Amino acid sequence: MQNDVIHQVMATLRQECRQWDPPAVTVVAEQLRTPFTVLISCVISLRTKDAVTAAASARLFAEAADPAALLSLREEKIAQLIYPAGFYRTKARQIRDICQTLQDAYGGKVPAQLDRLLALKGVGRKTANLVVTLGYGLPGICVDTHVHRITNRWGYVTTRTPDETETALRAKLPSEYWITINDLLVCYGQHHCLPRSPFCSSCRLAGWCERRLVERSR
């Protein structure tokens, strides 16, 4: 895929994704609009389905929506509120650790800098970039498994890891799409451009896609 068609690709993606619900973390960000809720909902979302993430986040933030309030809850209570999110006990411990660091080091505020976010326990580049983009509206590119897989499938980048994909996209993708590409490709990757047997025959992007590593499609 050549860079001169990326504007058409992104416009088509926007049209296609209107038929599906946005990712849970995006919904949380739109409803509550705080970097803290984006950060914690991202932690909850790892290895967890969107519907479970949305419900667990709503229960937790109804009880406590800032670091100080969350620290007043016992770890067992947090685990109960976010259940049945994957690894909910481990995440409850991680959430309290993050809140303690935010209180001690940043006065209860979530930093907007990637390096400071990455220093928080259990926070990787995907979560850090989501906080920067959805929480603060600052430039950044969140690369999860869908963004990594699909941009390589297109032939837009040639990379081995999500971190390499982020670097490649920062160098190539027009900045106007940095924040939106994650939402669009998560949505498209969950519903149409599946990891295995994607719906290539009905894909409106088929004319631009190199279908790299696609062994079987529908």
- Which residues are designated catalytic? 126, 144
CA–CA distance, 135 with 115 (Å, rounded to integer): 16
- Least Cα distance to 189 among 158, 160, 162 occurs for 162
Residues with Cβ within 8 Å of residue 71, at least 6 apart in sequence:
96, 99, 100, 103
CA–CA distance, 29 with 41 (Å, rounded to integer): 9
CA distances (Å), origin 47, targets 30, 53, 79, 87, 120 = 22, 10, 15, 8, 19
- Least Cα distance to 29 among 153, 136, 111 occurs for 136
Residues with Cβ within 8 Å of residue 94, at least 6 apart in sequence:
43, 121, 122
